[in-house]
A and B are shown apart, each in its own frame.
Chain A
Amino acid sequence: MEAKDRSVELEDRNRPEEIQERKYRDILRVVGTGTIIFGVWTLFKAGSLVMIGKDQYMPIMKSYMIDSGAAWKEWYFYVFLVMLLVVLSFEFLFKAFVGWAAISEGKGKKRTFLYIAIAIILIWGSVGTIAGIIVGDAATEIDYTGVVRAPWETSIIEITSMILMAELVYAGVKLRQLRRKEKKALKAGSAKKAEVENAN
């Protein structure tokens, strides 16, 4: 039986570059899914903000503004809430896009560098949040995510999100490097072939 033919194909599909490519695509699929889940977490935060925002946050905002000498009107809170929801929506959309693009690239489709660039920006966002928690400024009592006095929980989530993004960026970049290397090798191979044919 023709087992020998299959062995040749096997060697071709198990070159170190092929194995690496499979590994990075698998990483992209997994972290892409994780990124989307973190995006859903953002939606959850937005939802909880809407549900309990007025009772929990309005008094804090009111006392903060009065203490700092600013005027206070109730509709200020609603403007703030809408701005917060807009920011959270953008965060969700960015994460969803990054996750979808990573999964798509993990499945073999080609994607532009855009999702990796956005992932890098999201990493900076997480770094900023964690820095704010470490500094312990009163201004971060309500940060842009609307989380109040939950520094440990926020830190854990932000660090996890950061690691996820970092892994995504790493896998995306490595995959591109592999593809470039393969393209160069193919070009060199076909140039050599043409040279040999010309010589003959």
Chain B
Amino acid sequence: MQIDFHYYATYCAAIIAGYSHEDSRDIAYSAQFVDCCSRSFLSGIDAPAHAATTQLQLELMEARTDIIGLQDITRIWASFHFLPGDLYADPDRKCSRVYKSKYRLICQPNGQLLVDTVELAKGKGVQAIGLAMHVLADTWAHRNFAGTPSLVINNMGKDLSELVPCDEGGSWKPIKFNHNPGDVDDPSIGKYTSSIYVGSENSIMNLGHGRAGHLPDYSWARYRYMPAWGDYREIIKDNPTDYMNAFYQLIYALKYLKGDISSFETGHYDYDAIAEYKDEIEGMFLKRQIDSSSDWKSFGEKLSGHEIEDFDTNEYQKEYISADEADKDDTFLGKFILAALRQKSMVTNRIFNSGNLVAGISVDFRSKGLKGIKAFFKLVTDSEKDTEKEARDD
């Protein structure tokens, strides 16, 4: 998904769920920030690089694709953008262990990891909520792709067609991608870009939905294709429906995190909350445009009665840089960094415990002692603080 959903639509969902304008804005900011918090950004503010929630194109170009590099890439993308749907799924046919381990990383909505992600954000502040909402939303948009470079999972057949609306309802038109990364998509003439085909299994070009270009990120797109893992089965990706479900589920999750609902369960959507806005929201999802930020912004401002500030990646940089070392974790970015480390640690741990080494090894600090990546020590001290706080409250 793009800024139109992660920032503006998340803001709208938070307002509908009953959050204040300020909280909704912080949640939306954090949700969008997941797409901006790269190693380059973090090194610029002297923050832990392991809290990176994304990798820029330039970073990916330089990324290693040996086993260590692949694990590093997978930890980021599987934790924040392609949350696995079922870590114990089995392919229909006999396959190698390596194939199975990648197959199990395929992103699907309503998985157990989604429950874990939302519950992890409970009581951890608006930054954690925003991060969890980004992950939730992406499980719908990025479904059927895996957050690891893999040709045999993420490649698509050549027969890809889009359902283009017309007077008779719709007609299927073949899509032919062009591979110029500098080119801009033009849906009006069916012009789309995607990553170039590279026959190497672990090429960066085969990460996530690169082979499908930006199609999964367009809320109006409906297309038919054969995923490489599908054994020649065709899938129809109905983005308007998926985005609508994402929005319903976002509201439900936000209400749970606010305390209005006692538990978060998969397959639950808050249909009633947007009954009066359904047509307007559907209209925004169906409108064929590259970026629907302005429509969502107007809608959000109408809902809240407040102006929504434009997203600025550097908004909280100064606060973080100027804070003392001991106070950094209490700044906006500090809280986001903690949330990111928590999420990454949780997902990597779950993947490792399922017997899958694609995301590397996960060490439980509390039981095994302080071994491993130093940046994650913060989580131990943070959880100790939580335990102390709970003891005081009792």
- In the complex, what's the smallest C-beta–C-beta distance from A31 to chain B, in angstroms? 16
B-facing mask of A1-43, CB < 8 A → 1, else 0? 1010011011001100001101100100000000000000000
Q: Is the CB of A1 within 8 A of B240?
A: yes
Q: Contacts A1-B244, A22-B226 given: A10-B157 contact, CB under 8 Å? A: no
Q: Is the CB of A22 within 8 A of B235?
A: no
| Chain B residues whose C-beta falls within 8 Å of the C-beta of A26 in the assembled complex | 157, 232
Q: Is the CB of B236 within 8 A of A23?
A: no
Residues of B within 8 A of A (CB): 157, 159, 163, 222, 224, 226, 231-236, 238, 240-241, 244, 282
- In the complex, what's the smallest C-beta–C-beta distance from A148 to chain B, in angstroms? 34
Q: Is the CB of B234 within 8 A of A13?
A: yes
Cβ-neighbour of A19 out of B222, B232, B235, B244 (below 8 A): B232
Cβ-neighbour of B238 out of A3, A22, A23 (below 8 A): A3
Cβ-neighbour of A1 out of B232, B234, B282 (below 8 A): B282
Q: Contacts A1-B240, A26-B157 given: A14-B222 contact, CB under 8 Å? A: no
Q: Is the CB of B234 within 8 A of A10?
A: yes
Q: Is the CB of B238 within 8 A of A14?
A: no
Complex Cα distance A154/B229, Å? 36
Complex Cα distance A22/B232, Å? 6
Complex Cα distance A1/B231, Å? 28
Interface of B is mostly: mixed
Complex Cα distance A14/B222, Å? 17
Question: Could you pull out 19 A-B pairs where Cβ atoms are within 8 angstroms?
Answer: A1-B238, A1-B241, A1-B282, A3-B238, A6-B163, A6-B238, A10-B234, A10-B235, A10-B236, A13-B224, A13-B234, A14-B234, A22-B157, A22-B232, A22-B234, A23-B231, A23-B232, A26-B157, A26-B232
- In the complex, what's the smallest C-beta–C-beta distance from B171 to chain A, in angstroms? 13
Q: Is the CB of B234 within 8 A of A6?
A: no
Complex Cα distance A22/B158, Å? 11
Q: Is the CB of B244 within 8 A of A9?
A: no
| Chain B residues whose C-beta falls within 8 Å of the C-beta of A6 in the assembled complex | 163, 222, 236, 238
B234, closest chain A residue (CB)? A13
Complex Cα distance A9/B231, Å? 18
Q: Is the CB of B236 within 8 A of A9?
A: yes
| Chain A residues whose C-beta falls within 8 Å of the C-beta of B231 in the assembled complex | 19, 23
Cβ-neighbour of A14 out of B163, B233, B241, B282 (below 8 A): B233
| Chain A residues whose C-beta falls within 8 Å of the C-beta of B240 in the assembled complex | 1
A10, closest chain B residue (CB)? B236
| Chain A residues whose C-beta falls within 8 Å of the C-beta of B157 in the assembled complex | 22, 26
| Chain A residues whose C-beta falls within 8 Å of the C-beta of B232 in the assembled complex | 19-20, 22-23, 26
Complex Cα distance A50/B163, Å? 54
Complex Cα distance A7/B236, Å? 8
Complex Cα distance A128/B244, Å? 64
A9, closest chain B residue (CB)? B236
Extra 18 A-B pairs, beta carbons < 8 Å, given A1-B244, A6-B163, A22-B159: A1-B238, A1-B241, A1-B282, A3-B238, A3-B241, A6-B222, A7-B236, A10-B236, A13-B224, A13-B234, A14-B233, A19-B231, A20-B232, A22-B157, A22-B232, A23-B231, A26-B157, A26-B232
Complex Cα distance A1/B242, Å? 10
Q: Is the CB of A19 within 8 A of B236?
A: no
| Chain B residues whose C-beta falls within 8 Å of the C-beta of A3 in the assembled complex | 238, 241
| Chain A residues whose C-beta falls within 8 Å of the C-beta of B282 in the assembled complex | 1
Cβ-neighbour of B233 out of A1, A7, A9, A19 (below 8 A): A19
State which residues 105-152 of A face B: CB under 8 Å. none
Complex Cα distance A10/B163, Å? 13
Complex Cα distance A23/B159, Å? 12
Complex Cα distance A13/B224, Å? 10
| Chain A residues whose C-beta falls within 8 Å of the C-beta of B235 in the assembled complex | 10
